Each structure stands twice: as C-alpha cells, then as structure tokens.
Amino acid sequence: MELSVVMPCLNEAETLETCIRKALGFFEEHGIDGEVVVADNGSTDGSQQIARAAGARVVPVADRGYGNALMGGIRAARGRYVVMGDADDSYDFTALMPFLKELRDGADLVMGNRFKGGIEPGAMPPLHRYLGNPVLSFIGRLFFGSKIGDFHCGLRAFRRDSILRLGLQTGGMEFASEMVVRATLAGYDIREVPTTLSKDGRSRPPHLNTWRDGWRHLRFLLLYSPRWLFLIPGLLFMLIGLAAGIALSFGPVRVGDVAFDVDTLVGAGAAMVIGFQAVLFALFTKVYAMEEGFLPRDRRVDRLVAWWTMERGLVLGGLLALAGLAGLVASLLHWRVNNFGELDPRQSLRMVVPSATALVMSFQAIFASMFVSILYIRRREHPRLPDAAEEAAVVVDAAADRVAAEETGDGKVSAARAAGRDEEGAQAAG
C-alpha cells in the first residue's frame, strides 16, 4: 500500500465523515492505493461508528493526547507514506498530491505551510497567527537550523519508516515540534509545500489551549537545545562577570556620575559562578541526551569529554582551588598587617571576593568531572548464565543428529556394496 491518511480523533462526529470521504475521493481520483486510519482517543460521541461507516479503519488509542493518538495511528498504518491531518475539516484532504509528489521524489518529511497557502478569515486566532506560530517557528529555526516556516502545521506527510526510526516521545501538542526538530537533527530531507487552512466545522471549542500548549511547545524547544538553554546564557554571564571582576579588582569604576565598587564586585563574582554552573549544565545535558539517544552524537562534545577526563578535571579544579586559597591567605596576611583589627571593606573585598569565587568554581569543576565520568559509563549486557535444561537439550539434539548421520552413512555403504556385488555378477555372467 502506498499511502495512509491518519486522522487523530476525539469526539469529531460533526466533521469526521466529511474528512474521510474527501481522503477516499482523493485516492479514487488519482488511482492511489491508500487507506484512511482514524486514531480514536476515546471518543464518546459515536465517532468510531461514523468512521467505519464512511470506510475508514479505526484504531483505538488508550493514552490521551494529540501525539499519542498520532503515534498509535502511524504505527498501525499500512502505507509506505503517511499523511497526518486533523479531523475538524480545516485541512483539504482532496489536495494532497503536492505532498505525495515530494515523497515520491525522495523527501522524508513534507510540511504544509499555511502562511504561504492561505488562511481563511476566522480560521486561526490572531494571537496564534501573528504571535504564537511565527515566534515559535522562528525559535525553532534559530535553535536547530531548520528552514521550515510553519512548525505547527497539522497537515504534513512523511515516510512511515523514517518517522518511526526517530523514536518520538512526546504525547501532547508538542509532538508537532518534536517531529520537525528530531527530523532536522537526524539530517532528513525536509521540504515544505503551501497548504490552506479553513475555518473548522465544529460547533464546540478546539482541543488546543493557547497558553498551556504554547508553553509546552516552547519548553520542548528549550529542553532540546542545551546550547540556548544553558550554554549561551552561561557564557554571557561569565563574560560579564569576568570583565566586571577584572575592572573592579583594581579600584572603583565610574561611568558618568555612577560609581561601581566592591558591591558590584560581589555581583560579578556571583555572575561568574552562575555562568560557570550553566555551562556545566549544558555539558551534562548534552552528554546525557547523546548517551540516551535523544540528541545525535556531537563530535565536539565527544572530543571535549575525551580530553577532559576525571583526572584532568581534578587537576584543573585543584589548581583553581590553590589559587583561591592563595588569595584567602593573602587576605589573612593583610588582616594581620592591620593587627587583626577593623579593615576597609573596599580593600579587603577586592582580595576576598575573587578568591572565594575561584574556590567555589574549583569545586564545581571537580564535581562536574566526576559527574561527566559517571554519565559516560557504558551499560553492558553480560552473558547470561547457562541453563541446565537448555544444555541437556543441546546434547540430546547433537546425539540424535549423530545417530541419524551414522545411519545415513551405513545405508550408503550397504547400497555401495550391493551395487558392487551386482556389477561383479554381471561381469561373471558376461
């Protein structure tokens, strides 16, 4: 079978039959060997009976959620290619040929773009049209280097085997983003075609919740990009803290009428610690995601971890700790020079704050080295213990095979001897 059209369904009795008949009409018009799969997510309005009567195959999916319903339908699909689309009659299932042509041409994933194809008035709320979709699509392109203009279009087509290889995990509306992100990271051939969006035919409100589902999409994009979630903010904090710390270690800094002194130096030290911790979290997240298969291997991270062994981390952390301790000893000597009396904080803090910052970062580096080493421990499957019953069965089978072979050999020898005797008799008669 070439094509399966998968429709997630939760109480879509008003529009489901129309969508199914449009998809079946598309098959008939273009001579396509296809099927319509309705992934029912627990409908209570008779959608299942309507779907069967209209000619679709119904696949019940117990786990609630847009992503769960779609994955249930995709796994049950029999077609080489799959088109997924909402069953609310907002997408035109009679206009699937541009998607199919791209798949036949070798694409792994073909996304619809509603902004290029046309959005009917009232089909998309203004907040989604002018803020939600454009912003989230921009973040997706920025974070992952994707070229897709409409990350959340519900009408898309793909090679079934390619999508199943991705091992998609999300069960809610963020499934739409996960598919594009994981396909991009996997290096798939992703293309985009214009499609239209019409006002849906339902009388009830849509399942989509603007703020909840928008946050779930944004959260997913952030969690799948340690670079933007941790690394870049961490490096920015470290750069600001380092620049301010160096400048303020030699004395106050004036910018116009504003004077920055040791209180700002304390903030700079805190920024250094926070930034360094964020950079380490970026490394932890990346290593964990690569080891668990959530993100593809990154050669730069592998090279960094191969160089930054636990032993080297301990040495580097130890050197940083010595520098911090040296600064603290210097501050104690400064206090001793002043007979352990009251000190001018503007002078003493210029030694104490950088030293304390270096000491804190030294322990962060040491603990990080240990933790990364733990993350890189390989899980191995040891050979299982031999089973006595299995070993006995193997011995019995081997003995039976040997007996059968011997019997077969004896038969061949007897036949050869008989043939020899017949030949000798024929020669004597001659």
Check if the beta carbon of residue 191 is closer than 8 Å to that of residue 108. Answer: no
Residues 35 and 146 in one domain: yes
Domain membership flag for residue 307: yes
**Domains of the chain: total:** 3
Task: Examine the domain organization and report whether 156 and 17 are in the same domain.
Answer: yes
Q: What is the pLDDT of residue 426?
A: 43
Domain stop point among 375, 396, 421:
375
97 falls within a domain = yes
* Boundary-marking domain end, from 223, 238, 261: 223
What is the domain extent for residue 26? 3-223
Model's pTM, two decimal places? 0.71
Would residue 382 count as lying in a domain?
A: no
Where residue 68 sits, what CATH number does that domain have?
3.90.550.10
117 with 203, same domain? yes
Please check whether residue 86 lies inside any domain of the structure.
Answer: yes
Q: Answer yes or no: do 7 and 154 share one domain.
A: yes
User: Is residue 381 assigned to a domain?
Assistant: no
Residues 174 and 102 reside in one and the same domain? yes
Q: Which residue's structure tokens are 């959608």?
A: 47
In a domain, 402, yes or no: yes
Tell me if 271 is assigned to some domain. Answer: yes
pLDDT, residue 383, reads 57
Domain boundary among 194, 223, 252: 223
Tell me the CA distances in angstroms from 223 to 86, 174, 296, 392, 416, one per residue in order.
Answer: 27, 12, 14, 53, 77
Closest by CA to 26, choosing from 83, 103, 104, is 83
The verdict on 182 and 233 lying in the same domain is no
Shared domain for 264 and 199, answered yes or no, is: no
Decide if 84 is inside a domain. Answer: yes
136 and 263, same domain (yes or no): no
48 and 64, same domain (yes or no): yes
pLDDT in tens, the chain (430 residues): 999 999 999 999 999 999 999 999 999 999 999 999 999 999 999 999 999 999 999 999 999 999 999 999 999 999 999 999 999 999 999 999 999 999 999 999 999 999 999 999 988 888 888 888 899 999 999 999 898 999 889 999 999 999 999 989 888 888 989 999 999 999 999 999 999 999 987 777 776 777 887 888 888 888 888 999 999 999 999 999 999 999 988 888 888 888 888 889 999 999 999 999 999 999 998 888 887 777 788 888 888 888 888 888 899 899 999 998 988 888 788 777 676 666 667 777 888 888 999 999 999 999 998 988 887 776 544 455 555 566 666 666 666 667 666 666 554 444 444 445 444 444 444 4
